[in-house]
Structure 1
Amino acid sequence: MRARVVRVALVAATVALVLLAVPLAVAIRYAFFADEGGELERDAMAAVVRVGPDFTVGDPVELHAARPGEGLALYDASGRLRSGAGPALGGGVVTRALAGDVAQSRSGGELVVAVPVSSGERVIGVIRAATSAGTVWTRVFWGWAALLGLCLVALGAAVGVARRQASVLTAPLEALAGTSLAVADGDLTARAEQNTIPEIDEVARAHNTMVDRLAQLLEHERNFTANASHQLRTPLAGLQLGLEAALADPDADPRAALAEAAERSRHLDHTIEEVLRLARSGLGTLPSVREQPAGDVLEAADRRWHGPFAQDGRRLTMTWEPEAGRLPVPGHTVEQVVDILLDNAHRHGRGTVTVTLRDLETALALDVADEGSADLDPRAIFERGMGDGSGIGLALARQLADAAGGRLSLASTAPTRFTLLLPLHEDL
């Protein structure tokens, strides 16, 4: 592109110089010949004052010395040479001057000016001044050479400026191309820098906006995949273990096993629905969901998690006041948050796990506590990648809580206690 910009600038400069130089060259030629004609006329006028009326009766006339390369001659009324350097017969230019006017011509390789000599009101002779036209042309050629030199200097300056401007114009585009290649190679942190050219700067901003949106989409997709795998892993494992246990025990009640499998399947369906809804809504508020009594949500969680804790020799207790248990909450969302907190307590906590539901009049407080301790910064524990595991669960739980209009926080580190606050009214 740089070569193209330089080429365009060079063509434009050349056209401009030609349009300027051609009239100047014509003007130089005209000016030099006009200047030389004026010099000849002045020399002829100076000679005229030396010619007296007596030369017509034979008195000698002595003309002043001419300039180098110039010839001065005096002709009588019949056009014959009387004095000076010139042809024997004056020719047409002298004839025209005998009519009383200054005459000028260029013929035979000479530039000639003839000035009439008058006495009284009668023309008695003519002063002829002549010089070689080649001398004038030499001056014209030198003038043209100077003009050509100036044009070449101007053209060189135009090329230099064009190269500089081409560099200024192409450098941001080359940088933008490099940024685009970096993004194509997978570096979504690459961003185009701002520059002083508004049009290219606008392209860079549009490119950065596109990359930002692309990065958000990819991050969104990665989060969705991670969230789905994290949330489906435990329910699927529970469903598989329940079915395998029923198959291994010949005395097991198949209806009970099928009922448990059906409940776990419904929970899986709720999990998939919640993850999809969260993925579609981004980080904003989730669309309205079916509300359930808080007590029903906790009872279902107790049925899902009582067995895993009991297998590890740990207790799971859930307490709530009847009034608090009847308050409506976004069922599927709270279900997922409780599952994440219980899974976290099961994997990383110790001792008895206590789930407490409290009515704060303006909000519901759901506490999940165990007898372990959290060594991480309470502000960083909800970031993805933090902790000893995948670092997804708590980040997803906070995202779900925020999207439902609530707030999830680490209320205590020793012992570990997470608190989910859910507003009961729209103005809170």
Structure 2
Amino acid sequence: MRAHVVRVAVMAAVVALLLLAVPLAVAIRFTFLADERDGLERDAMAAVVRVGPDFVAGDPVELPGSRGGVRRAVYDASGALRSGEGPSPADATVRQALSGRVAQARSGGELVVAVPISSQERVVGAVRASTRASRVWGRVLWGWAALLALCLVALFAAVWVARRQARVLSTPLEALARTSLAIADGDLTARADGSSVEEIDEVARAHNSMVERLARLLERERRFAANASHQLRTPLTGLQLGLESALANPDADPRTALAEAAEQAHHLDHTIDEVLRIATADDTEAAPAAGQPVADLLRAAERRWHGVLAQDGRRLDLVWEPETERLSVPGRTTDQILDVLLDNAHRHGAGTVTVTLRDLGTALAVDVRDEGSADLDGQAIFDRGTGAGTGIGLALAREMADAAGARLTLSGRAPTRFTLLLPLDENT
């Protein structure tokens, strides 16, 4: 790009210099020739004044001194050379002067001026002044040389300015290209810097905005993949174990196994819907989860997790007051958060897991407690990538709670207790 900018600027400078230099060169030539003719005319007039009309009577003619390189001659009315240096007989320029007017001409490589000598309103002779044209052309060439030198200086200045401007224009674009290459190599933290050129800054800002959106989209895709993997693992494992158990026991009722498989598949469907809802929550307003009686959700969670905890010799207790059974809460969201909390208690907790339901009037509190202890504080435990596991579950649970207008906190560390505050459905 730098070479292109310099080339365009130099071409523009050359065109401008040509448009300026050619008329100036013509003007220099015209001016120098005109000045020399005026000088010759002044020399001739000075000779006319000195000679006077008396030379006609035969008086000797004495010409005054003149500039170097100028030859002068005096002619009588018949065109005969009377004094000085000049052609004999008189040339056309002298004959024009003898007719009563100042004559100028170029003849034989000379610039010639002839001025008439008058006496009593009658032309009695003429003075001829001449100089070599090469002498004038020498001055013209020196003038042209000076003009050419000025043009070269201007051209070099234009090249210097063009290179400087090319650097100003190309440096931020080259930096933008390097930033784009870094992003293409996977560095989504790379950002284009500003410059002194507003148009390039607009491109940089648009580029940075595009990269930020791309980074958000990629991060959302990664989170979706991680969330889906985390949330689908448990129901798929339960579905697989249930089917394998039914196949291993020939006396098992297939209808019971199919019913459990259907419930697990239904839960899988809800899990996928909830993960997708979280993934699109930043772009569009996600539809709120449908309300369900909280007791039904707790019983369904007990069916999913009772056997899992029992395999490790642990109990799962549900505690709620009868009047809270029919209270409605966001169904799918609550279901998924309960799975995360029970999975966390299973993997990182100890002893009996107790789920307690409390009516707070404007909200419903669901406590999930085990007999273990939490090593992290109430904020860090919800950060992605923290803890002994994948660091996804609790972070995802909080995201789902926030998306549903609920609140999930660590309300106790020893023993570990998580509290989910759920907004009650307006129809309950």
Q: TM-score, normalised by structure 1?
A: 0.95
Contact in 1 for aligned 2:109/2:134 (Cα 8 Å): yes
| Partner residue in 1 for 2:343 | 343
**Quick one: distance in 1 between partners of 2:399 and 2:325?**
24
| Partner residue in 2 for 1:359 | 359
| Partner residue in 1 for 2:310 | 310
| Partner residue in 1 for 2:30 | 30
| Partner residue in 2 for 1:77 | 77
Contact in 1 for aligned 2:328/2:425 (Cα 8 Å): no
Identity %: 71
**Quick one: distance in 1 between partners of 2:267 and 2:54?**
140
Contact in 1 for aligned 2:29/2:140 (Cα 8 Å): yes
| Partner residue in 1 for 2:224 | 224
| Partner residue in 2 for 1:64 | 64
Report the Cα offset of residue 11 of structure 1. Answer: 1.2
Contact in 2 for aligned 1:407/1:422 (Cα 8 Å): yes
Equivalent position SS for 1:9: helix
| Partner residue in 2 for 1:165 | 165
Contact in 2 for aligned 1:104/1:114 (Cα 8 Å): yes
**Quick one: distance in 2 between partners of 1:409 and 1:117?**
123
Task: Return closer, same or farther for 1:394/1:185 CA change in 2, 3 Å cut-off.
Answer: same
Query: Which deviates more, 406-415 or 392-401?
Result: 406-415
1:401 counterpart = 2:423:
no
| Partner residue in 2 for 1:324 | 324
| Partner residue in 1 for 2:389 | 389
Equivalent position SS for 1:410: strand
| Partner residue in 1 for 2:143 | 143
1:156 counterpart = 2:162:
no
Deviation digits for residues 344-395 of structure 1 (CA, Å, limit 9, x no counterpart):
1111112222222222222222221222222223222222211111111111
**1:116-127 counterparts in 2 under 5 A?**
116-127=116-127
**Quick one: distance in 2 between partners of 1:377 and 1:152?**
76
Equivalent position SS for 1:374: coil
Which amino acid in structure 2 is aligned with residue 107 of structure 1? S
Contact in 2 for aligned 1:10/1:158 (Cα 8 Å): yes
**Quick one: distance in 2 between partners of 1:408 and 1:372?**
19
**Quick one: distance in 1 between partners of 2:413 and 2:79?**
130
Task: Return closer, same or farther for 1:219/1:71 CA change in 2, 3 Å cut-off.
Answer: same
1:96 counterpart = 2:100:
no
| Partner residue in 2 for 1:298 | 298
**Quick one: distance in 1 between partners of 2:96 and 2:339?**
122
**Quick one: distance in 2 between partners of 1:110 and 1:40?**
11
Query: Which deviates more, 283-292 or 272-281?
Result: 283-292
Task: Return closer, same or farther for 1:420/1:283 CA change in 2, 3 Å cut-off.
Answer: farther
| Partner residue in 1 for 2:411 | 411
Which amino acid in structure 1 is aligned with residue 11 of structure 2? V
Contact in 1 for aligned 2:72/2:128 (Cα 8 Å): yes
**Quick one: distance in 2 between partners of 1:233 and 1:154?**
76
**1:12-51 counterparts in 2 under 5 A?**
12-51=12-51
Contact in 2 for aligned 1:289/1:330 (Cα 8 Å): yes
1:268 counterpart = 2:263:
no
Q: Which stretches of structure 1, 4 residues or more, deviate above 4 A after TM superposition?
A: none
Task: Return closer, same or farther for 1:300/1:425 CA change in 2, 3 Å cut-off.
Answer: closer
**1:365-376 counterparts in 2 under 5 A?**
365-376=365-376
Gaps of 5+ in 1: none
Report the Cα offset of residue 328 of structure 1. Answer: 1.1
Report the Cα offset of residue 142 of structure 1. Answer: 0.9
Equivalent position SS for 2:354: strand
Report the Cα offset of residue 409 of structure 1. Answer: 1.8
Report the Cα offset of residue 111 of structure 1. Answer: 0.4
**Quick one: distance in 2 between partners of 1:24 and 1:236?**
91
Deviation digits for residues 244-295 of structure 1 (CA, Å, limit 9, x no counterpart):
2333334433333332222222211211222223223347653133210111
Report the Cα offset of residue 197 of structure 1. Answer: 1.7
Contact in 2 for aligned 1:94/1:103 (Cα 8 Å): yes
**Quick one: distance in 1 between partners of 2:361 and 2:120?**
133
Which amino acid in structure 2 is aligned with residue 162 of structure 1? A
Query: Which deviates more, 38-47 or 411-420?
Result: 411-420
Which amino acid in structure 1 is aligned with residue 272 of structure 2? I
Contact in 2 for aligned 1:283/1:399 (Cα 8 Å): no
Task: Return closer, same or farther for 1:220/1:28 CA change in 2, 3 Å cut-off.
Answer: same
Which amino acid in structure 2 is aligned with residue 89 of structure 1? P
Task: Return closer, same or farther for 1:413/1:285 CA change in 2, 3 Å cut-off.
Answer: farther
Task: Return closer, same or farther for 1:180/1:35 CA change in 2, 3 Å cut-off.
Answer: same
Aligned residues: 426
Which amino acid in structure 2 is aligned with residue 163 of structure 1? R
Contact in 2 for aligned 1:320/1:356 (Cα 8 Å): yes
**Quick one: distance in 2 between partners of 1:189 and 1:33?**
72
**1:178-197 counterparts in 2 under 5 A?**
178-197=178-197
Contact in 2 for aligned 1:93/1:103 (Cα 8 Å): yes
**Quick one: distance in 1 between partners of 2:51 and 2:153?**
52
**Quick one: distance in 2 between partners of 1:112 and 1:425?**
116
**1:175-214 counterparts in 2 under 5 A?**
175-214=175-214
Contact in 2 for aligned 1:362/1:424 (Cα 8 Å): yes
**Quick one: distance in 2 between partners of 1:110 and 1:372?**
120
Report the Cα offset of residue 121 of structure 1. Answer: 1.9
Contact in 2 for aligned 1:356/1:368 (Cα 8 Å): yes
Gaps of 5+ in 2: none
Q: TM-score, normalised by structure 2?
A: 0.95
CA RMSD of aligned residues (A): 1.8
Contact in 2 for aligned 1:285/1:402 (Cα 8 Å): no
**Quick one: distance in 2 between partners of 1:95 and 1:75?**
10
Equivalent position SS for 1:346: helix
Query: Which deviates more, 275-284 or 176-185?
Result: 275-284
**Quick one: distance in 2 between partners of 1:60 and 1:425?**
137
